[in-house]
Structure 1
Amino acid sequence: MQTITVHTTQNIDIDYEIAGIGERILARIIDYAIFIAFYLILFFLVVSRMPKTVLIITIIIMVAVFAFYDLVCEITLNGQSVGKRVMKIRVISLNGNRPRFSQYLLRWLMRMVDFGITLNMGALLSALLTENGQRLGDLVAGTAMVKTHPRTKIDSLTFRPAADDYEPIFKEVAELHDEDVRLIGDVIHNYVKTHNAMVVYTMAQKIKDHLKISAVPSDMNDLQFLQAIIKDYTHISAMAEPYQ
């Protein structure tokens, strides 16, 4: 299993599993299949009956949708297209942050080289030969394609209190965001896989400093502290949700 270590802005090293070539190809095939199905339906139901001028405009729009599909999807779907989401892979920034618009744009512009000029060979060879499985667009943009299924989801971090009167230990967690809690979950998963206690210690210190928590129960270690933070955040978030 090939992994990439991303150093986040919180000074935490998180390991991600690099997306395989097969998964990336299948994601591309799924995206192409969606377009082909859409275009065939559009052609048989609408295009064949259109006046020539309207037909030309429609074709231009369809080409534009195809050309900008990846860029728009990755910006709006957090580094994923429909195919990538199905295959559970996504684009991340190597600096640990969510990729910026400029990174998505650079990656998209390099498609002309990766898939156009080189007839897909540029992307394939680059992904095979580079250490982090990056195509040329990733190298230029400072991004990489990773698997998302090991990535912690909020639902998988939910600790349901046994009673409705559960009292959070650290009410300061209200200042956190979902992405902060996902990162904590990633650190815990990373510790379970690697037994690297330093990542847990570093994350715990960062959370204590960020939330200005000075008093922690004496019998609570750093791992238990992070688990308590997730539990408290889940409870407070659930209580804050309006009733349907």
Structure 2
Amino acid sequence: MKTLQIKTAQNVNIKFTLASVFQRLSAFLIDNIIKFAYLYFIFEFFNFSSLENALNGDSWDIKAIEALVLMPITFYSLYSEILLNGQTLGKKLLNLKVINVDGFKPSTTDFIIRWFLRIIDFNLFSLLLVYIASLGLSDEYILLVLLFLFGKLIGFFLILFTNKGQRFGDIIANTIVIYLKDEVKFSETILEEIKDSYKPTYPSVVKLSDNDARIIKETFNNAAKFNDYNTLIKLRSKILEVTEIKSVHKSDKEFIDTVLKDYNYYTQSM
């Protein structure tokens, strides 16, 4: 498997295992099975013909209901990755996760960009079909089939041949997909010893992910060991930016140490 070493803004090298194209394809297939299961359930157990009769064949109302029914499928990967911290159900089952190229959790904007650009990665045929139709070549069936396959495989080939395994949406959103092959150790690296009587200071630390906390801890330990105050200042600024915490600590070391302990307090008690 490909590995990628990232130097964070705090000059700490973090190594990730990139998800292979076949792992991502498997997750994609699982997600599509879930989508088809949803459609099957909807059309099997809801009587749309009765609904159409009740609406007296009003085409606008029918189209609105169809759009409403399809909305969970249309936005599936977007809301899944936002709500599940960079994972769809398929990715979660296969221990895959979307992160940004700095190793932190992508922003909501990043998730929107990579979701929207699926139209190029997997659905370019829709755009090409409109263009071909405008040229009056709708009878060229072989050409249409080839364009369909080409449009569907763009994302596949980009993941296969780019250095970081990025499809077009990943490249523009600055995201990568990693394989959490060692999930136990991944969590253990962020553990902090806290007493039962410990009182947390910053509830907003729950905005961080396990991966964020791991990077913060590694960066903090490295900077504290060598008294690298510039890195501590940068790290503190990044934490404040991500969590929107109002710090009550003047010392960078005390602040970051408290953030790590608070993160462990809230995540272990959930």
Q: Which category describes the TM-score, using the shorter chain as reference length?
A: 0.5 to 0.7
**CA distance, structure 2, for counterparts of residue 51 and residue 130 of structure 1:** 49
Deviates more, 1:1-10 or 1:98-107: 1-10
| Structure 1 alignment gaps of length 5 or more | 191-197, 216-228
Letter in 2 for 1:143: T
Q: 1:121 to 1:203 in 2, by over 3 A?
A: farther
* RMSD of aligned residue pairs (Cα, Å): 4.0
**What is the deviation of 1:63?**
2.2
Deviations 1:161-219 (A, max 9, x none): 8x979xx9xx9x9669464875564588x9xxxxxxx996336557977573889xxxx
**CA distance, structure 2, for counterparts of residue 159 and residue 121 of structure 1:** 45
TM-score by length of 1: 0.68
2:137 is equivalent to residue 99 of structure 1: no
**CA distance, structure 2, for counterparts of residue 214 and residue 100 of structure 1:** 26
**What is the deviation of 1:59?**
2.6
2:223 is equivalent to residue 202 of structure 1: yes
Percent identity of paired positions between Structure 1 and Structure 2: 21
| Structure 2 alignment gaps of length 5 or more | 125-149, 237-248
Q: 1:203 to 1:27 in 2, by over 3 A?
A: farther
Q: Give the aligned length.
A: 214
Deviates more, 1:100-109 or 1:18-27: 100-109
**CA distance, structure 2, for counterparts of residue 157 and residue 200 of structure 1:** 11
Deviations 1:42-81 (A, max 9, x none): 2111135532257654432232221111111112221111
Deviates more, 1:52-61 or 1:88-97: 52-61
Letter in 2 for 1:73: S
**What is the deviation of 1:157?**
4.8
Aligned to 1:218: none
**What is the deviation of 1:6?**
2.6
**CA distance, structure 1, for counterparts of residue 220 and residue 193 of structure 2:** 26
2:19 is equivalent to residue 16 of structure 1: no
**CA distance, structure 2, for counterparts of residue 90 and residue 109 of structure 1:** 18
2:45 is equivalent to residue 45 of structure 1: yes
TM-score by length of 2: 0.62
- Following superposition of structure 1 onto structure 2, how do residues 48-63 of structure 1 map, counting pairs within 5 Å? 50-52=50-52, 56-63=63-70
Indicate which of 76, 81, 84 corresponds to 2:91.
84
**CA distance, structure 2, for counterparts of residue 208 and residue 86 of structure 1:** 36
Deviations 1:4-62 (A, max 9, x none): 22333433221111011111111111111112112212211113553225765443223
2:261 is equivalent to residue 233 of structure 1: yes
Q: 1:15 to 1:199 in 2, by over 3 A?
A: farther
Secondary structure of the structure 2 residue equivalent to 1:146: strand
Secondary structure of the structure 2 residue equivalent to 1:144: strand
**CA distance, structure 2, for counterparts of residue 94 and residue 235 of structure 1:** 23
CA contact (8 A) 1:106 1:137 kept: yes
**What is the deviation of 1:148?**
2.6
Secondary structure of the structure 2 residue equivalent to 1:14: strand
